[in-house]
Structure 1
Amino acid sequence: MTAATSIACAATIGFDEAQAIVRKSCVPLGFEFVPLGKAGRRVLARDVVAGIDSPRRDCAAMDGYAVHSRDLAQGVIRFRLSGESGAGGPLPVPLPPGTAVRISTGAPMPPGADRVVMREYAMIDGKHVILTDRGGKGHVRRRGDDFARGQTLLTAGTRMDARAMVVTAAADVEGVTVWRRPRVHVMTNGDELVEPGKAAMQADTVPDSLSEALTLIARQWGGKLTGMSRATDRIDSLRDAAQAALSETDILVLAGGASHGHRDLARAALLPLGLRLAFAGVAMKPGKPLWYGRIGRTHILGLPGNPTAALTTARLFLAPMIAAMSGAGFASALRWSSHASSLALEEGGDRDQFLCGVTQGNTVRTIERQQASAQMMLAQADVLVERRAGVPAGPAGSVLQCLRF
């Protein structure tokens, strides 16, 4: 990162170069031990190792009757009932020849029994059970069949979703070591911005449509929201709001004030706080005003104020920043997929473009009238479609790279 001391020294750079700078700068923040109940969506910093065998002893995989396969091999079909084994109950006594134990799914097998005949293949006759069929498979889960004590079940880097929670809890693990979540503060600026629901009551105001959306993106990719703030178009207002957030923030996101007009003041407001710019302006469309820097250890990401441009750059930069700092890796948020274009393609422009698109099966259609300030098309778009600068025109069916929006 360059130790820029003024806005003028940060020139426009290419999209790939900008991503490389951010990727190199964003690393995991350190780890902590948390109870399992608070580990959801966190990323493991250490492997999860089984504390017990699963199952803990030989047990029934079906409701039925536990018998010895040697009796079945000798043609025995009538067995004397010798008790019952239930899940969570004590280990039954050894099973004598010619006897059977009623058993439920998950219940321990009696010593000597090695087969469960499903109840559908049995009839009760007083204190005896008569088998109408041998019942196919043995329906016994052997001790440690699923996993054994000391076995690594989940490796570092795994995100703790519902499936991982099941495995961890089943392994009798009460807590896990995870990467710390980056703390994110979202700040918008503009004299015209008001809280949604208040614009109709005041002339010449506009609802702040970005704050809630950006905080949702932060949460979705593993960030921990520490606050939202809104500043006016004054350097002191921007500086005060940013300074108040810095002490408890790993990523400060500023939406608006990222262009070159006389009221776009964000970078100028933060320079006295120690802002070191890495870049200011990226050769991409939408999102050319995007900028990035640091104040101490806090990452500062300046997004354009136009809604579609803001969400596009947030998806391409903020999401992988959070993923990298939370231990999942920068690339985990940038999984591109191939789709055939349903329309003929024009030649690429002078900047890399990331267009709002709609998928239909394995095809994709870019939305007409792409505008950085538009908002309605965001409700339709489910992918960003990559069109690199200068790429040649192509017919319908051409393969496009798409990123889930």
Structure 2
Amino acid sequence: MIGFDAALALLEANVRPLSAEPVPLAEAHGRVLAEDVRAALPSPRSAVSAMDGYALRNADAAVGARLRIVGESFAGGTPPPGIAPGECVRIFTGAPMPKGADRVVMQANCVGDGKAMTITAEFGPGWHVRPAASDFAAGDLLLRAGTRLGPGAIVALAGADRAEAMVHKRPRLAIIATGDELAPPGTARDHPDRIPESVSFGVAALAEQYGANIVARLSGADDLGTLRQLADKALAQANVVVVTGGASVGERDFAKAMFAEQDLELLFAKVVIKPGKPVWIGRAQGRWIVGLPGNPTSALVTARLFLAPLLALLQGRALAEVQTWLPLPLGDGFPDSGDRTTFVRARLSGGMLIPVGNQDSGAQAPLAAAGWLVRCERDSALAGRLALTF
């Protein structure tokens, strides 16, 4: 048995990112960069206006000044003519500044008739000009390898004049749900000795949230021969295989035995946590195998604590990105942690974290309300507890 932090450290030390592939910019959202991104051109490429108005020399900017309009400047249009003293150019947001102009007066402070413009109101201290390369210069580092491409990063990537991104491949994940008692949701009501198989659906949703591509959903009864066939099928399709159930020490717990013929090597087996002590991770035929408990709460908690980091590391992300523990205010009702690191499911209410009602490892309904895991260490004070998004 191993401690929680030691198990994560083993994971971080042993997992290497998957190889890289190029994807079009339109398909890059949520992917993780496999290389640094530098700008291919400056932004802006030349000084441009930040407002609609008139471009002029600051020396000519005064209330009551009347200036001759010598041209127009539009974003993407023909470069405007240069200006001399007493002249201005009608200009629009994002349009290049004319040579000789260093200021823009907003149109709300001016009156123009197409031939001349008069500044009619105080125009404030702003010059409303974006200098060339004021956002970034050509060659500037905009994004580092390991960055997960959210909306803002996508904007920067496109602004760098990149049509595609070099990203780590998404983990291909297969899920095997085991247990004689399980039935597909929607059919269990017709079989008194069955329960709906709910765990694999939650684990699959979590895995997709952290970048996995679900390539197979398999299920089998507690029969070693059947499960070995499923193990072969999963390993042929995926580079991460998740097994739910059969992770304890019962006579029909075959989660590890089903991979014995594939030379399963364990990274760790059992962690001193609650819920989810039976969780384990290993490798077989170069694929990662994650064994999760069969109880719904235990499975989802351990998936968040171990499967999410595994998927992140495989995509080149830092462990800290998905395992950030925050010191948040706690309300009443937190149980004693006992002799194991305990992860209490909680919800945010009135700026404080409150435990959800049922903390049983087999509970399902409370998972819908639980948005946080509160880490409660053995013999620790309440003030020392930390929270993780769930």
The TM-score normalised by the length of structure 2 is: 0.94
Which position in structure 1 is the counterpart of 2:97? Answer: 109
Kindly provide the CA deviation profile for residues 99-128 of structure 1, in whole angstroms up to 9, marking residues without a partner as x.
Answer: 222111011112222211110011124622
Residue 41 in 1 paired to residue 16 in 2? no
- After superposing the two structures, state which structure 1 stretch, 85-94 or 301-310, moved more: 85-94
Alpha-carbon spacing, 1:338–1:362, altered in 2? closer, same or farther (3 Å): farther
Which position in structure 1 is the counterpart of 2:237? Answer: 248
* CA positional deviation for 1:158: 1.4
Which position in structure 2 is the counterpart of 1:120? Answer: 108
* CA positional deviation for 1:147: 0.8
Could you tell me how far apart the structure 2 residues matched to 1:289 and 1:393 are? 26
Kindly provide the CA deviation profile for residues 301-338 of structure 1, in whole angstroms up to 9, marking residues without a partner as x.
Answer: 10000000000111111011111111112232111011
Alpha-carbon spacing, 1:286–1:254, altered in 2? closer, same or farther (3 Å): same
* CA positional deviation for 1:387: 1.8
Alpha-carbon spacing, 1:393–1:116, altered in 2? closer, same or farther (3 Å): closer
Could you tell me how far apart the structure 2 residues matched to 1:334 and 1:155 are? 20
Q: 2:201 aligns with which of 209, 212, 235?
A: 212
Could you tell me how far apart the structure 2 residues matched to 1:208 and 1:277 are? 27
* CA positional deviation for 1:13: 2.9
Structure 1's unaligned 5+ residue stretches are 1-11
- After superposing the two structures, state which structure 1 stretch, 54-63 or 28-37, moved more: 28-37
Asked whether the equivalents of residues 70 and 81 of structure 2 are also in contact (C-alpha less than 8 Å), the reply is no
Could you tell me how far apart the structure 2 residues matched to 1:276 and 1:195 are? 31
Q: 2:325 aligns with which of 313, 328, 336?
A: 336
* CA positional deviation for 1:76: 6.9
Asked whether the equivalents of residues 345 and 372 of structure 2 are also in contact (C-alpha less than 8 Å), the reply is yes
- After superposing the two structures, state which structure 1 stretch, 252-261 or 119-128, moved more: 119-128
Q: How does 1:230-379 map to 2 (within 5 A)?
A: 230-343=219-332, 347-379=336-368
Alpha-carbon spacing, 1:41–1:84, altered in 2? closer, same or farther (3 Å): same
| Structure 1 SS opposite 2:375 | strand
| Structure 2 SS opposite 1:338 | coil
Which position in structure 2 is the counterpart of 1:6? Answer: none
* CA positional deviation for 1:134: 5.5
* CA positional deviation for 1:393: 6.4
Kindly provide the CA deviation profile for residues 360-389 of structure 1, in whole angstroms up to 9, marking residues without a partner as x.
Answer: 344322234421101111112111111223
Which position in structure 1 is the counterpart of 2:57? Answer: 68
Which position in structure 1 is the counterpart of 2:389? Answer: 404
- After superposing the two structures, state which structure 1 stretch, 137-146 or 358-367, moved more: 358-367
Q: Which amino acid aligns with 1:135?
A: F
Asked whether the equivalents of residues 357 and 366 of structure 2 are also in contact (C-alpha less than 8 Å), the reply is no
Alpha-carbon spacing, 1:368–1:203, altered in 2? closer, same or farther (3 Å): closer
* CA positional deviation for 1:250: 1.7
Could you tell me how far apart the structure 2 residues matched to 1:29 and 1:23 are? 14
Could you tell me how far apart the structure 2 residues matched to 1:126 and 1:286 are? 75
Asked whether the equivalents of residues 347 and 392 of structure 1 are also in contact (C-alpha less than 8 Å), the reply is no
Which position in structure 1 is the counterpart of 2:120? Answer: 132
Kindly provide the CA deviation profile for residues 187-219 of structure 1, in whole angstroms up to 9, marking residues without a partner as x.
Answer: 111223222222223332222112221111111
| Structure 2 SS opposite 1:336 | coil
Could you tell me how far apart the structure 2 residues matched to 1:374 and 1:72 are? 71
Could you tell me how far apart the structure 2 residues matched to 1:155 and 1:13 are? 34
Which position in structure 2 is the counterpart of 1:228? Answer: 217
Which position in structure 2 is the counterpart of 1:95? Answer: 83
Q: Which amino acid aligns with 1:79?
A: L
Could you tell me how far apart the structure 1 residues matched to 2:25 and 2:113 are? 49
Residue 80 in 1 paired to residue 65 in 2? no
Regions of 4+ moved over 4 Å: 344-347
* CA positional deviation for 1:89: 0.3
Alpha-carbon spacing, 1:37–1:363, altered in 2? closer, same or farther (3 Å): same
* CA positional deviation for 1:15: 2.6
Superposition RMSD in Å:
2.0
Could you tell me how far apart the structure 2 residues matched to 1:177 and 1:149 are? 19
Q: Which amino acid aligns with 1:282?
A: V
